[in-house]
Structure 1
């Protein structure tokens, strides 16, 4: 007994109409795929039946052979009744068939909706389009037109299109997910089905699961597993990737047949190339994210997860769940651990240098644990690990979040994103190259490393040649009043339009409508993304980072990925040479990161400018010639120093983020092109690398700065920072700034309460809805100024950390700050930004460091004991030094001076 007659009605009607030995028989694959009850029973017998339709059909045929009321064809591809059909049943099936044809041909508008067929009034034939997928990957996909005649079984039509003599050899997949209802893949089966023996299951070699469905997480990826055909029919890689199991020979993707909702009628619908490409893109994390944002030509899967408020589109966790389901991987399992567990496993002893993790735990204790259970994993910060199972018998794969997060959900999403980015790598191989060439192109061109011999700028890159190209864009319109330029990390709002035009018209700047081949290929009027995390293609990111609010810019890109273009529009013709994409982007507005917004609204000038002015004053007071900016980001300090007179001659910036450095190179190049005579800089160099493992080539600069960096560091790199800077770089003076968590309540508009231990503890009149300790705890976990801060120190914690480093490496330390009154007592929150100035023994502190508001290390501070210092020194002696090889990314040299570093 079948579960439902409706999906099988068309096939039973064809069975009683068929002449000869096939009368009354139905293809075995039809019963296997279309009946839910049979499908469930096959899966219960062997899970391989879900992955391999041929094996499922073999199970059905094996059961049919043992059933006296059924008979099996000699080739094992057809199943029929042993007893002949009664004339009444035959008459009823044929009558239902005539009613079905009449219903489709003369139905009302609701019944004809979604059919999109062309009906000939003379022969009542329905034509519908399908996608033909050749097995040979170099042969292009194409649409074919199929004709559904009232007297012709639709599987006969598909068999003829595939070049098959026997309709029983036409295999079909289950319905394709996220495709129009009734969409299936059809392909030609082998001459015989697999051999099934009970109780043991034995398969012919060509159907062995290890041959046709290797682990998708394997090093070679699924496409490598599908290429080895052993000299048999060529494997159809594109079709195999789409349905998740091996497909041999050519295939057809069509929307045709009976469904649960068609009431036994056979429906036909056009299946376009556009729909096919979207399905293919949706099976890759990169493409699935683009589809979720409805932006195939602009959006990109971000490389970093910052916080829930900044993420747009489908979440990484949901994307990973869909990916695992599509490729038959076990459900992802997430495991989170809080900071205390991690710190206990890596720290130990009393020394802050053992983990500057003690400082991180202090943040935890001050921010949360004094209100709750110090060991509770609900308090965070959290680090997450995700386990993704294997489709085969191999070990599962693990992925970890990027450091610690104050929110458990953010840690989970970060781990899921790292898994997605890893799985996205293999999708650019084999038959899928045409879909993901644009991804690689956008990544490389987004770096925008180039050379301009006129300004003596040298760009270093060992990547592909595409990464040496310089993006050229032009301003085509701007408002009367322009706004500011968006800083990295801000949320930007843009409107954009993508047109397909002739390459010559783009180069000539001809924007006439006559030159547009396709207008509005893709457009959005209010598109939001986070700047600097890879949420859009590199060209858009660089373009917007150089724009000011109100400007409209335009640039062109070559047509690189035909799959993406077809997915965006089905109007493209066969001749695509000499065509380019014209992007028109307008920056509507931007929102700065929370930290900048809060500080800018509370201080004038903003704290960021006050910190830069403090560093500039220090440079001039020391008469420093060489500066190393540690964690320089996009080079805001270096760029500011070009605009103001100072004593510097050589500037070096170091950061771990390549994208931030590239933005900095662009900004510095633009500033240097203005020929500003305020500076005496001879050379500027940007290095890519970690500041926790310093390069000895940069040893002994006059001044090193570390402005608002340490609070972004995880415990392990932070633990190594002191030895890297004071032990290896050995600057004459090191300037370190970091937020003062005790000032946060003032910034948030609350009154200072010394009894609250510097924490924002609102009373009932401020947040009346926070009535229980859990809600208060959740609010306090968000007490830091920026979602990306791993911690923030109190004044006592910061001084303890700095004093220990100074004692270990023979430095003196003084403390200062900017923002606020700076009163250094228990009745005042102190400075908003606290600063430590380390000076090597023998170096005289600048005069302004002796003024009021600047304190030095004395007996009242938490200075480490001699025992603590000795224990730390012994541990540092036995610890293996990290080896650093900073990568020179960009260099500018004054034409009047030869290049020199320090």
Structure 2
């Protein structure tokens, strides 16, 4: 399928049942979304009482007036009895001013033609109401009148009428839906209707339209008395977009004379002899930008039947002339070379609007249409930020929310708005799905209503019925309502908003991955449901044909996670780890190694992100997790894709020249300003002194000393907090080992342990007997024979971060295969949560987020997959001990085991009944080493690292 055919298929109208007409406010929301701002105020009016001498004013009925602010203009309604009526009234005024047709669906084809003729007749009349308005076309009529000088009475290009008058545009789309994307067809329809107007004059070979008779003196004065020009000549920067995608875009200058017409300047730059043959696209980017594409009309004869589209036999090869980049941004067919310029008349003023368009702005628009680009732009961090891999909670999220990002992506890529369906699951689990919650449209678009009676803010608080959880299904459809992607998650959430945000993020993440693997055959995605995502390959290829052609020139390569970090400053001992909210200042420059010349690309004084959420580039997060507060770091990274650099570049010319140099790289400079602990840690510190984390270390230390353990393995060691803490106490340990699946955490653990162990080995007196330390990358649910038979194993506050079946698997692997003499497992006591959460100093955002009085108590950490009561934990541990021939005893830290609700952190201590089992096992089994050794230290030759 060719690209032109793909665009034509997109515009074919689907046969659907008639729907009620949308309200004026709904129409405005569809066009402007959040950019439409309603402000309602009460109107105080006095009432005549029939007693003229009464000095007390009598209050009349309560009335409301609404002011609607749009990017182009503002309107104010008349006083109304109700607030919602005032808002609808203001929206209706805006629709009338914009010329949006709301009743065309009731017209016959002949009536639509008649309306088109009537509209053209009105525009070229002496109607003072129109000529005195701020309608953008009045500026063009004014210029035409000044240029006439005894010739035809105000020649106006038909493409200008097509671009600037919404009523004409909507009538053309109603007559022939293909006019939505085919600008030339719209112009032909207007020219055909103009020939039927007795009050205008048209040309057979050009697209000029002029008034048949001279303007009246009053009408002429109304036009000419308004300032629509400028005292001096102006020069406006614009972009020249070649038809061939292989040719680079370039900066051009549009020179407009003070007495000239800007369309003439554009025609001259395009090499077009007749200005009426310059076609104009719809607005690209922000509605207030007046940024449009200008291009030459293809050499096609006008159709006798204006309801038909140009015959393909009469056209040149459509794909050969299609300007893919311009089509991609405008959603319209644009052929040949084009100019992207921000110049023209608007609703805001009679003056000519003009603004420079830079190469940087073009690439920012390009980035903004990527699945992850909206997030990068919302953070104003194109190089540093990445679309997060998970939505943990609203208070830690920075930038636009996933739901808003998904809406923006669909809108910018000319798709239908995403459809959400919230599924409510009863807490009893007897019936998996009790009811599906469908979003209902309200007067306030930021609110959603669910059929079960709950409500939710699109970006905030959600409240549900009694208990239960939510899942959210998402469908992405083309403009013709063909399915592109549907997502049915397995994960459930306690709040409908969390379900919506997570589902939106999952879809965006899939799209992001898909568009960065363009070489992967589409058939791979047609094999059914992958992680809840079902893709329709034919539809996605059709809808994103232009996307693929534009972005296929950009190469995506995976950056190496780590070269080396140069960290400076005093070590404060506070390192951000997973769940921390880090705040950094940074700068990123483009440079050539060994050279002094470099170009600053991106800089930020305060940038917050959650560690472990994937909100920044992997190499940046890896560096930050090895820094302590107030330290600074510098490192070199490979180049990201070229379009990201140009979107971030402040000086395009310098950056582009550097890009062509060999061995270019990015230089990062970072300062760690602060690190806010996760909510779980703050809750514990608010109630317990010392904190629970330290009490758990002391509990493990007690058993280490009592058992005289020489070897210890920490399952799920993370960033090494337990192993690091053991350095501060005298123990019998000679060998310590940590295992985790996070290489970033292991890198931080290696740095801290290396520093402390070397310092102690160099000290004259030391309280540690440790001779070796090792860190392994691997899953604690997989056995590795090198860790078999240790004296003591620890797994502190780890299993709750796994799914319950994985936690059970770990118990079987730990006791059935690793077989430590002692295993200490701790996990939060769910019954203690109400006490912890009442004592926590919460931020205002967290307080607002937790207005869910009907919900059961929440988990301590947003990453917890479960939290057990005392009975659940004891049943799990007792069953494990029985099956693997261990004894188990229960204890805890924080609170008292003799009082309700028990310990805050519950602990199970498993003791192996067969101490000689290790030798028997090693003699009968041959196992593979599944773990990767990441770092090793011994007292004789210090550390070796494979990081």
Please name the residue that 2:27 is paired with. none
Alignment map for 1:437-836 (pairs within 5 Å): 444-445=559-560, 447-448=561-562, 470-475=563-568, 482=572, 484-498=574-588, 503-504=593-594, 522-557=602-637, 560=640, 563-574=643-654, 575-576=657-658, 582-615=667-700, 618=703, 629-640=714-725, 645=731, 647=733, 649=735, 651=737, 653-655=739-741, 657=742, 659-661=744-746, 663-664=748-749, 667=752, 676=761, 678-681=769-772, 683-687=774-778, 689=779, 694=782, 701-702=789-790, 705-714=794-803, 717=806, 734-747=823-836, 778=853, 781-807=856-882, 811-823=886-898, 827-836=899-908
Choose which of 257, 273, 278 in structure 2 pairs with 1:170. 278
SS at match of 1:546: coil
Distance 2:388 2:301 in 1: 45
Choose which of 308, 330, 337 in structure 2 pairs with 1:250. 337
Q: 1:777 to 1:231 in 2, by over 3 A?
A: closer
Please name the residue that 1:463 is paired with. none
Tell me, yes or no, if the aligned pair for 1:815 and 1:835 is still in contact at 8 Å: yes
Question: 1:791: Cα distance to partner?
Answer: 3.5
Question: 1:376: Cα distance to partner?
Answer: 7.0
Q: 1:538 to 1:138 in 2, by over 3 A?
A: same
Choose which of 301, 304, 308 in structure 1 pairs with 2:394. 308
Q: 1:495 to 1:436 in 2, by over 3 A?
A: farther
SS at match of 2:877: helix
Tell me, yes or no, if the aligned pair for 1:380 and 1:407 is still in contact at 8 Å: no
Question: 1:35: Cα distance to partner?
Answer: 0.4
Tell me, yes or no, if the aligned pair for 1:401 and 1:414 is still in contact at 8 Å: no
Tell me, yes or no, if the aligned pair for 2:632 and 2:671 is still in contact at 8 Å: yes
Question: 1:174: Cα distance to partner?
Answer: 1.4
Distance 1:540 1:696 in 2: 31
SS at match of 1:309: coil
Tell me, yes or no, if the aligned pair for 2:294 and 2:340 is still in contact at 8 Å: yes
Please name the residue that 2:365 is paired with. 279
SS at match of 1:335: strand
Structure 2 residue runs without a partner (length 5+): 1-118, 124-129, 434-462, 519-547, 762-767, 843-848, 918-927
Distance 2:709 2:857 in 1: 39
Distance 1:666 1:205 in 2: 68
Structure 1 residue runs without a partner (length 5+): 107-118, 120-124, 209-228, 348-374, 449-469, 507-514, 751-759, 761-765, 767-773, 846-883
Q: 1:103 to 1:162 in 2, by over 3 A?
A: closer
Tell me, yes or no, if the aligned pair for 1:616 and 1:646 is still in contact at 8 Å: no
Q: 1:433 to 1:86 in 2, by over 3 A?
A: closer
Distance 1:395 1:198 in 2: 33
Tell me, yes or no, if the aligned pair for 1:713 and 1:790 is still in contact at 8 Å: yes
Question: 1:489: Cα distance to partner?
Answer: 1.3
Question: 1:584: Cα distance to partner?
Answer: 3.5
Please name the residue that 2:183 is paired with. 53
Please name the residue that 2:473 is paired with. 385
Q: Deviations over 1:785-813 (max 9, x none)?
A: 22333432221222123334444555543
SS at match of 2:229: helix
Question: 1:886: Cα distance to partner?
Answer: 6.5
Q: CA RMSD in A?
A: 4.6
> Do residues 414 (structure 1) and 484 (structure 2) align?
no
Tell me, yes or no, if the aligned pair for 1:502 and 1:517 is still in contact at 8 Å: no
Tell me, yes or no, if the aligned pair for 1:402 and 1:414 is still in contact at 8 Å: no
Between the two proteins, the alignment pairs up a number of residues equal to 725
Larger relative contact order (Cα-Cα within 8 Å, sequence gap ≥ 6): 1
Distance 2:229 2:865 in 1: 64
Tell me, yes or no, if the aligned pair for 2:565 and 2:633 is still in contact at 8 Å: no
Tell me, yes or no, if the aligned pair for 1:297 and 1:564 is still in contact at 8 Å: yes
Q: 1:654 to 1:517 in 2, by over 3 A?
A: closer
Please name the residue that 1:321 is paired with. 407
Q: 1:737 to 1:486 in 2, by over 3 A?
A: same
Tell me, yes or no, if the aligned pair for 1:435 and 1:563 is still in contact at 8 Å: no
Choose which of 85, 90, 105 in structure 1 pairs with 2:212. 85
Question: 1:259: Cα distance to partner?
Answer: 1.5
Q: 1:749 to 1:650 in 2, by over 3 A?
A: closer
Question: 1:330: Cα distance to partner?
Answer: 1.9
Question: 1:325: Cα distance to partner?
Answer: 1.5
Q: Deviations over 1:668-710 (max 9, x none)?
A: 56667668574233643212x5x56x35777955465432133
Distance 1:621 1:53 in 2: 84
Question: 1:306: Cα distance to partner?
Answer: 0.8
Distance 1:291 1:30 in 2: 32
Tell me, yes or no, if the aligned pair for 2:774 and 2:937 is still in contact at 8 Å: yes
Alignment map for 1:80-229 (pairs within 5 Å): 80=209, 85-88=212-215, 104-106=229-231, 119=232, 125-150=233-258, 152-178=260-286, 181-192=289-300, 204=311
Question: 1:34: Cα distance to partner?
Answer: 1.0
Distance 2:713 2:496 in 1: 36
